[in-house]
Amino acid sequence: MSLIPEKHIVISPTLAATIGLEETIMLQLLQECKMHSSTQIHDCLQWTDVHLRQLSQLAPFWSKTELHRLSCNLAEKGIIILKNDSNDDEQTLCFAFNEPATEVRSNVAKDNYRLNKNAVTSKQAQFIKNDWHPSEDALRQLSQLGATREFALQQVPQFVAYWRDKKVPRYSWESKYLKEVWRQWQKLESSNQLRSQQIAIDRKWRPSEDAMHILLEKGGISSNFVEDAIPEFILYWRERGDMSNTWDTKFIHHVRRQWQFFIGMTDRDLQPKPITSDWRPRESVFDVLNMANIDRQFAEELLPEFILYWQENGALQSSWSTKFLQYIKGQWARESQTKSLENGYERQFKNDRKGRLRDRSIIEALSDRSWAT
């Protein structure tokens, strides 16, 4: 092994993400070979002959078959041009980068070759014109990278308008256009992939075990409190019709916000006492209901019967506000389920609130929630 350090292969991460890591390394090796080899200009292209033995010395980690495969990949992407079809039996690779030659070698007569006027090195930096349009070659390169021709052309008006406003001169608007369209295409592909993973929330949706563990075990939130939050959460997002792939995260945030208000209410009420006829829930109760997307008027209409029931019951509570919150959320969930299951019944249900505290299900709901006592 030689004690002289080998030359490093420097590549562009952006280019590697675009055309592939192996192809980027191969492209850099071909550029290295071109710099140390003689070239011939033909059809405005600089052709280079390179022996596979030379490439193998630069890339001992690839076989001859792999070198042929990668050179063909670069040709298919329109980055290089092969003079003849590459196969495993050939010992020499004749290639040219798919761009006009920018200079003429001294041994080529000037009258046999005219420098392309559009080459970057032969023109001044210019402002973009109103009628600027990408070349067919640029559209073809974008197509080889996956961006459709229709998408590429749709970006032209916005691209021209933006840089007209900027008033910045450039040597090559086409290269800028290629980078911008490719960036927009990748953004669109990423957005489409994310959207394909999103789903609407189902009526039977429940938070995952991980979400429940975070709320119950790590958050110290009552299981009854979490269960009461599920129906209102489902109703809100079903009515909005949103799609998401992070329902658990949304639910955790929803419950945590309400729990903070709930803790604030219970900390103030320590001594059990009976309910009075002029009792009113704390304003923070309506804040919690608002976060649960429960209408304040809905809660206000249920307040008189709530007071009447518990005055007749004679029970003592350390926090009537939390008891009221529990009752309202339970009623809201039941009414929402009724609306979903019995179409057209919601008006009758809404007008029949009087006396509902005498229903067995309501009494159970008011009696079995340990977190509200």
pLDDT digits (tens, 9 = 90+) for 252-292: 988 888 887 777 655 555 567 888 888 888 887 888 888 77
- Please report whether residue 251 resides in a domain: no
What predicted TM-score, i.e. pTM, was given to this entire model?
0.33
Same domain, 88 and 134: no
Same domain, 278 and 357: yes
- Please report whether residue 210 resides in a domain: no
Instruction: Please tell me the total count of domains within the chain.
Output: 3
What's the rounded Cα separation, in Å, for the pair 350 and 66?
A: 74
Q: What is the CATH number of the domain that holds 170?
A: 1.10.8
- Helix ranges (H only) for the chain are 13-19, 21-35, 52-58, 64-76, 136-144, 149-154, 156-166, 173-196, 209-213, 223-240, 247-266, 283-291, 296-313, 320-341, 346-351, 360-367
The reported pLDDT for the residue numbered 116 is 42
**What percent of the chain clears pLDDT 70, i.e. is strictly above it?**
76
- Please report whether residue 81 resides in a domain: yes
Same domain, 265 and 361: yes
Q: Which residues contact 231 (CB under 8 A, 6 or more apart)?
A: 332, 333, 336, 337
Q: What is the average per-residue pLDDT within 114-121?
A: 40
pLDDT in tens, 198-216: 788 888 889 998 889 889 8
Same domain, 311 and 280: yes
The reported pLDDT for the residue numbered 341 is 61
Least confident of 1-5, 226-230, 254-258, 330-334: 1-5
Same domain, 94 and 139: no
Same domain, 266 and 336: yes
Same domain, 368 and 268: yes
**What percent of the chain clears pLDDT 90, i.e. is strictly above it?**
5
Question: Residue 328's Cα: distance from chain center in Å?
Answer: 37
